[in-house]
Chain A
Amino acid sequence: MHKYAIFFVVLCAPLSAHAANDAELQTMREQIRQLEQRMQQAEASQPAEHDHAGSGENAFNPAVSLILSGSYGRLTQDTAIPSTGFALSPNNHGYSRSFSLKESELGISANIDPQFRGVATFALAPEGGSSVENAFVQTTSLGQGLNLKMGRFFSGLGYLNEQHAHAWDFIDQPLVYRTFWDNQLGDDGLQLKWLAPTDTFIELGTEIGRGRGYPGSNSQISNGAGATALFAHVGDDAGVSSSWRVGISLHQTRQSNWVSTNVPSKNGSLLSDSFSGDSNTAGLDFVWKYAPDGNTSETSFKLQGEYFQRKQDGVLTYDYTQPGAATVGANLSGNYSVTQSGWYVQGVYQFMPLWRAGLRYDQLDPGIAQVGATISANVISDYAYTPTRSTLMLDYSPSEFSRLRLQLAQDKSRADLIDNQVFLQYVMSLGAHGAHQF
């Protein structure tokens, strides 16, 4: 810039030199020479800041990303049958037979102003239609280790819950996530997290929301919070090669008129039941990651596990009839209380660059329900079955933006029905790709 200015002055000098005499010209030349010298000095003494757009996800403002995913499934059992003992829970497994397009996920994020950042993720369903998966704003300048989120977000409880589907190590969620959280707990509300000012990672978080996601009932009848969650995470490195994080979570909500269809009863028929009552869940999670010298691009290993226990206590209406239904059921109500639990543990080993193999084991405990006398003749209290599943995975990632996966599973989550599953999947992302969480 400076050089151009000097060049310009020098170019113009002969024009204005018309009337000037030699002495004046001489002075001007000397002045220009001095000016040039001063500028050179200034340039030399000051580190030049080179202009280029700042890096970070805001280099594209806003950052836009699109996840494309599809799968092929080969199953030996009907997918609609729920895990034994969990007919009152969601059974949204997220896969299907034959070829299918998975959800396409469109994400947009950017800083809004110096105080806020906004994130929105839209899930485009393969059958058409879209849903708002995440749409939240978060503070960026509270300081003191505080982060506040407002809007629709995945809850920070557990380890897997916050991860988006494209970051999962398997094509589907663990059974405990499918039955306890309808795959992923999302809510509309507030989340406040605080990071302790210590060298060890200690994070405390609390959430209140309307209870949009299961087991909440998305209630609109009360002005209060429909669900609350508390969680704590602690993590650190163990030497240069290992790092870990452990967590504990609590979740509390009230289910109101949660209707499940195809619930088995003692007489063998499949009927609709409705449950209303308190739902309290506690969870433990851990993850341990290992890479020689911390270099994850060659080989690495990840071990993670989570355990959740839920107590539901309320009233069950057996053979519930939806208002306006053609046939009227028994509509018998009685007390119903059950404590269920589930866990999984999985290991993923990157045995060479780009290639990973994983193994996962799932188990659920349906528990033994305390059933009130009015409905005990019909409602099953003890299924006497432990649903399990073993899953094997192999994936290949030509780059950090693309992944191809083979998954084999033996699903024994349904009594007397062994489902041998084969899946092929691709997951790819285009556009800005945000950094992944630990």
Chain B
Amino acid sequence: MQKILCIFLLLLASNAHAALNIFACEPEWAALAQELAGDKANIYAATNALQDPHHVEARPSLIARARGAQLVVCTGAELEVGWLPVILRESGNPDIAVGRPGYFEATHYVHMLEIPARLDRAEGDVHAAGNPHIQLDARNYPPIAQALSARLAELDPANAAFYNGRLQAFSSAWQSALKRWEANAAPLKGQPVLVHHRAYPYLEAWLGLKQVAELEPKPGMEPSAAYLAQVLGELQQHPARMVIRSAYQNAKPSEWIAQHAHVNIVALPFSVGGSPGAKDLFGLFDDTIARLLEGLK
């Protein structure tokens, strides 16, 4: 009996020392965690790039995965406010509660854009902490990677050196990729664009794109026919080169405006997995820039 108990306890103990279980709210953070933790972590992505991260169901599978997670990696800035609180609460896992080392918000480590001066739901789906779609500025990744790597080391000190090594490798690869992307994207500078959702301020700030209009009348509100006609009118005065939408968004509004305003449609992957080329974080930006350049033609 004692032997069995010993074996059982050993099994439990060995299980506790197995790889870190990471619950990533969005696929870009799953990909970043993969870069930084390699095979030392089991990574579960709660959403995919074809899902609208604002509207995700608090599915039983997510609660079950959160129960066993040592680290939750999310965007923050209220992007997941409609589903994550239920998951954290129902998981019965205090290690990943907000404010604990097991809870990581990427928006804490970057400079936020579009922090609203006025909080009013009449303005649509605005976030008090700023626009949460930080993942499309490649310059945001080094500080997030550094903080995430430090968090991994804090939670799993035995592998701290390993995580640091992965961070150095990732950072130097990222720096050279950044140079490449910025060189390739040079023709995009100053180009006027039309966007479906207010999802690209970071991308625009990075590459120098100039947003002339949005298809959504207010952030998060579906574009209506009347509003699209109004946008079309505005385009007479401020013509755009292309209309941008994300993989998860309805294609119809951008198709309509593209047809009537004679501009190219660019469907961006928005996150890892949003297009065949966006297999990892490097692929995400290679593909994003290639598609934007295609939109200039």
**Interface residues of A, Cβ cutoff 8 Å to B:** 47-50, 52-59, 117, 138, 140-147, 193-203, 233-237, 240, 243-245, 289, 293-298, 353-354, 398-401, 430, 434-438
Contacts and interface: CB of A to CB of B under 8 A. Distances in A.
Interface stretch (B30-38, B86-94, B277-285): B86-94
A353 B222 contact: yes
Contacts of A143: 92-95
A235 B60 contact: yes
Contact of A200 (B64, B79, B92): B64
A163 B8 CA distance: 40
A75 to B, nearest CB: 34
B83 A298 contact: no
A145 B92 CA distance: 4
Contacts of B229: none
A151 to B, nearest CB: 16
Contacts of A354: 222
Q: Which 7 pairs across A and B sit closest by C-beta, in order of nearness? A: A235-B60, A201-B60, A47-B143, A145-B92, A293-B50, A201-B64, A141-B94
Choose among B59, B99, B142 the residue with the greatest number of A CB atoms under 10 Å from its CB. Answer: B59
A331 B248 CA distance: 67
Given A52-B115, A138-B89, A243-B60, 20 more contacts: A47-B147, A52-B128, A55-B127, A140-B89, A145-B91, A195-B64, A195-B67, A197-B67, A200-B61, A201-B60, A202-B64, A233-B60, A234-B60, A236-B60, A293-B51, A297-B54, A398-B221, A436-B83, A438-B57, A438-B60
Contacts of A49: 108-109, 147
B56 interface: yes
B98 interface: yes
B115 to A, nearest CB: 8
Given A235-B59, A435-B82, A55 B220 contact: no
B121 interface: yes
Contact of B146 (A47, A197, A237, A245): A47
Nearest to B92: A145
Q: Chain B: interface residue count, which band?
A: 35 or more
B12 to A, nearest CB: 10
A413 B199 CA distance: 51
A296 B52 contact: yes
A296 B58 contact: no
24 contacts: A47-B142, A50-B109, A52-B115, A55-B78, A55-B107, A117-B89, A138-B89, A146-B92, A196-B64, A197-B67, A199-B61, A235-B60, A236-B64, A243-B60, A294-B47, A295-B52, A296-B57, A297-B55, A354-B222, A400-B55, A435-B85, A436-B58, A438-B58, A438-B60
B86 A437 contact: yes
A48 B143 contact: yes
Nearest to A293: B50
Nearest to A240: B48
A243 B83 CA distance: 15
Interface SS of B by simple majority: loop
Nearest to B61: A237
B112 interface: yes
Nearest to B54: A297
Interface in B172-211: none
Nearest to B68: A197
A140 B94 contact: yes
A245 B65 CA distance: 15
Interface of B: 47-48, 50-52, 54-61, 63-65, 67-68, 76-86, 89-95, 97-99, 105, 107-112, 115, 121, 124-125, 127-130, 142-144, 146-147, 220-222, 248, 250
Nearest to B223: A353
A214 to B, nearest CB: 27
A289 to B, nearest CB: 6
A52 B250 contact: no
Contact of B56 (A140, A236, A296): A296
Contacts of A48: 109, 143
B111 A141 contact: no
B75 to A, nearest CB: 9
Contacts of A142: 92, 94
Contacts of A240: 48
A437 B90 CA distance: 10
Contact of A401 (B91, B121, B222): B121
Contacts of B250: 298, 353
Choose among A202, A240, A399 the residue with the greatest number of B CB atoms under 10 Å from its CB. Answer: A399
A157 to B, nearest CB: 16
B121 A430 contact: yes
Contact of B50 (A146, A289, A295): A295
B8 to A, nearest CB: 14
Given A293-B51, A294-B47, A399-B221, A435 B58 contact: yes
A127 to B, nearest CB: 30
Contacts of B76: 54-55
Contacts of B107: 50, 52, 55
Given A49-B108, A197-B67, A435 B129 contact: no
Nearest to A52: B129
Given A50-B108, A52-B112, A198 B64 contact: yes
B216 to A, nearest CB: 11
Contacts of A47: 109, 142-144, 146-147
B53 to A, nearest CB: 10
A289 B57 contact: yes
Given A233-B60, A296-B57, A399-B221, A195 B82 contact: no
A65 to B, nearest CB: 12
Contacts of B111: 50
A117 B94 CA distance: 13
A197 B59 CA distance: 16
A436 to B, nearest CB: 7
Contact of B78 (A59, A146, A298): A59
Nearest to B57: A438
B266 to A, nearest CB: 19
A141 to B, nearest CB: 4
A297 B124 CA distance: 16
A294 B45 CA distance: 13
B47 A55 contact: no
B63 A195 contact: yes
Contacts of A430: 121
A243 B109 contact: no
Contacts of A203: 60
